[in-house]
């Protein structure tokens, strides 16, 4: 099931996405929130309405308490930036204020001259959990979505730690929705800039599996419903410029699209 978070005439709700063709998608509004047992209301609205009186806008599919990101989890990406392949998962954080949705604008930060894209599979947590054993990891996962770990690469190199380089506002696009029924073990990840392919990889190329990552981070901290795990990016990262349109497509999920603008 595809679960989207959206606003309609200013009211925020969750809905199950129905349909296959982009111009025919419909949202069946969910009663309550999707992290507990829920019902579909049967009230349906078109995601791309032809009726201008109804304004439906996709929002970030979740509002995480925290985004836990794992770096250098694809060997070729680690090598392309001249880094060693880590023996153990290597985690950092992106704040909740970095999150935007599909269709929202990435604001090029004034303190950087080298903005990079990084396409990633994102895992959405469905229940509060800590010290999760490997055999129970699937039980705590709500679903999967597309992510773009936008990075101020020059700042990352200069400052040696990643808080500003990867945590600035609009640096974590997520979306377009969460797919709850998916085998994430061998999915195609693709990124284009203005229609030109920049990244192409498969989730089977991860050094540390999703199970490894969740076991690792929950040894240290509690994850909450809606928290997001970024699983790393394949090779091919590169620059973004003001005016670029960047799109992350993951097999079985959909496409996350954002435009880069100058921060006002």
The chain-wide mean pLDDT, for the chain, equals: 95
pLDDT of residue 84: 82
Statement: residue 129 has pLDDT above 60: yes
pLDDT at 152 over 90: yes
Cβ(226)–Cβ(35) under 8 Å? yes
- In CATH terms, the fold of domain 67-262 is Fumarylacetoacetate hydrolase; domain 2 (3.90.850)
Give 190-199 pLDDT, tens digit per residue: 999 999 999 9
Average pLDDT over residues 89-116: 97
Give the C-alpha separation, 4 to 143, whole Å.
11
What is the pLDDT at residue 49? 59
Which DSSP helix (H) or strand (E) runs through 175?
A: strand 172-179
Confidence of residue 227 (pLDDT cuts 50, 70, 90): very high
Residue 55 is predicted with a pLDDT of: 77
pLDDT of 169 strictly over 80 = yes
- Which CATH number applies to 2-58: 2.60.40, 2.30.30, 2.40.10, 2.30.29? 2.30.30
Binned at pLDDT 50, 70 and 90, residue 48 comes out as confident
**CA angle in degrees (0–180, nearest 5) for 51-31-147:** 75
Give the per-residue pLDDT at 87. 87
Q: Which of the 8 DSSP states describes residue 203?
A: G
Mean pLDDT of 140-150: 98
pTM: 0.96
Residue 68 token pair: 């836990």
Q: Which residue has the higher pLDDT, 87 or 120?
A: 120
pLDDT band at 22 (very low <50, low <70, confident <90, very high): confident
Sign of the alpha-carbon torsion through 30, 32, 33, 36? negative
Per-residue model confidence (pLDDT) at position 50: 59
Longest Cα–Cα distance of the chain, Å, equals: 55
Give the tokens for residue 128: 């509060």
Question: Does 124 score more than 60 pLDDT?
Answer: yes
Helix/strand/coil for 253: coil
Domain ranges of the chain: 2-58, 67-262
């Amino acid at each position: 099931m595809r679960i989207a978070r959206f606003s309609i005439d200013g009211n925020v709700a969750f809905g199950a996405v129905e349909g296959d063709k982009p111009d025919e998608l419909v949202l069946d509004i969910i009663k309550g929130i999707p992290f507990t047992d829920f019902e579909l209301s049967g009230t349906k609205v078109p995601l791309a309405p032809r009726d201008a009186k109804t304004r439906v806008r996709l929002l970030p599919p979740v509002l995480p308490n925290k985004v836990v990101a794992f770096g250098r989890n694809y060997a070729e990406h680690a090598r392309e930036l001249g880094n060693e392949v880590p023996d153990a998962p290597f985690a950092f954080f992106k704040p909740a204020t970095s999150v935007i949705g599909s269709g929202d604008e990435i604001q090029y930060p004034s303190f950087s001259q080298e903005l990079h894209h990084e396409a990633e599979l994102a895992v959405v947590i469905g229940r509060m959990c800590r010290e999760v054993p490997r055999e129970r990891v699937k039980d705590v996962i709500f679903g999967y979505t597309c992510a773009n770990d936008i990075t101020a690469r020059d700042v990352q190199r200069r400052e040696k730690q990643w808080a500003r380089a990867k945590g600035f506002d609009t640096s974590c696009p997520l979306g377009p929705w969460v797919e709850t029924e998916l085998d994430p073990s061998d999915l195609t990840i693709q990124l284009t800039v203005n229609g030109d392919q920049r990244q192409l990889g498969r989730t089977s190329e991860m050094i540390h599996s999703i199970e490894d990552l969740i076991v690792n981070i929950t040894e240290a901290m509690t994850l909450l419903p809606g928290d997001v795990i970024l699983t790393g990016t394949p090779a091919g990262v590169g620059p973004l410029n003001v005016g670029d349109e960047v799109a992350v497509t993951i097999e079985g999920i959909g496409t996350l699209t954002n435009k880069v603008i100058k921060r006002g």
